[in-house]
A and B are shown apart, each in its own frame.
Chain A
Amino acid sequence: GAVVSQHPSWVICKSGTSVKIECRSLDFQATTMFWYRQFPKQSLMLMATSNEGSKATYEQGVEKDKFLINHASLTLSTLTVTSAHPEDSSFYICSARDARGNSGNTIYFGEGSWLTVV
């Protein structure tokens, strides 16, 4: 299947600083990528839909100014957590839609990123 790579896997940052997480589709072009957050023992919570060349679409309750999403190319989307606070500590995971004709419109996930804000 297609490959989506997410980096970094683990990151620790100081409260008040910003941290960037990258999501790359390695073998297909992804016009649409998705960013999720997962709390312990819960399902994935969609934060935003990232569209190449346009503004991201945020889910209700997600702060746009805090979670900046950029999708500048067909293979890269980034999530920047600005002015991070300890309550932002979580598991963040991205996914990308493979819209090629033989892919069944499948959505593949990156490995995820653990963010700890101290």
Chain B
Amino acid sequence: AQTVTQSQPEMSVQEAETVTLSCTYDTSESDYYLFWYKQPPSRQMILVIRQEAYKQQNATENRFSVNFQKAAKSFSLKISDSQLGDAAMYFCASTGTASKLTFGTGTRLQVTL
């Protein structure tokens, strides 16, 4: 079984600043994967970044990086140099090798000028 918790319903960041979105998870799987998805108003789910749990190195994708703390079961997303286009709902999710994707409740990110 898997659970994903996002404790921040809403966050706000000024343009060009950095923001960190929190996520904690629990899983019974020994081999699992963690993701952050972005959902803009169009409702499409866009993959932002992924992390294989067996990798110790934190994943990075341009302005997006994660802080993966396996022992603490924490998987936060850092957005650097925030842009207006980053405004969206962000969902943290986890899955095992053959199991379904489990989502958190989401964090709505506002980007202000």
Tell me, yes or no, whether A binds B. Answer: yes
B60 smallest CB distance to A (angstroms):
14
| B84 at interface, CB cutoff 8 A | no
Let me know if A104 and B33 touch, CB within 8 A: yes
Residues of A within 8 A of B101 (CB): 34, 46, 95, 107
Mask, B42-62, CB within 8 Å of A = 1, is 111111001010000000000
Interface size on A, residues (CB 8 A): 20
| B12-20, B73-81, B103-111: which lies at the interface | B103-111
Interface bin, chain B: 20 to 34
Let me know if B43 and A106 touch, CB within 8 A: no
| A11 at interface, CB cutoff 8 A | no
B88 smallest CB distance to A (angstroms):
13
Let me know if A93 and B47 touch, CB within 8 A: no
| A105 at interface, CB cutoff 8 A | yes
Let me know if A1 and B47 touch, CB within 8 A: yes
Let me know if A46 and B100 touch, CB within 8 A: yes
Mask, A98-109, CB within 8 Å of B = 1, is 000000111111
| Inter-chain contact total with CB atoms closer than 8 Å | 48
Most B Cβ at <10 Å: residue of A1, A46, A49, A107: A107
B70 smallest CB distance to A (angstroms):
16
Let me know if A105 and B105 touch, CB within 8 A: no
Q: Which residue of the partner chain A has the closest CB to B52?
A: A104
| B28 at interface, CB cutoff 8 A | no
Let me know if A112 and B50 touch, CB within 8 A: no
B58 smallest CB distance to A (angstroms):
14
User: What is the CA–CA distance of A117 and B58 in the complex, to the nearest angstrom?
Assistant: 45
| B35 at interface, CB cutoff 8 A | yes
Mask, A31-62, CB within 8 Å of B = 1, is 01010001000111010010000000000000
Q: Report which of A38, A91, A93, A107 forms a contact with B95, defined as CB distance below 8 A.
A: A107
Q: List 25 A-B contacts (CB under 8 A).
A: A1-B47, A32-B98, A34-B101, A38-B43, A42-B105, A43-B91, A43-B104, A43-B106, A44-B45, A49-B100, A91-B43, A95-B45, A95-B101, A104-B50, A104-B52, A105-B33, A105-B95, A107-B35, A107-B95, A108-B47, A109-B44, A109-B45, A109-B46, A111-B44, A112-B44
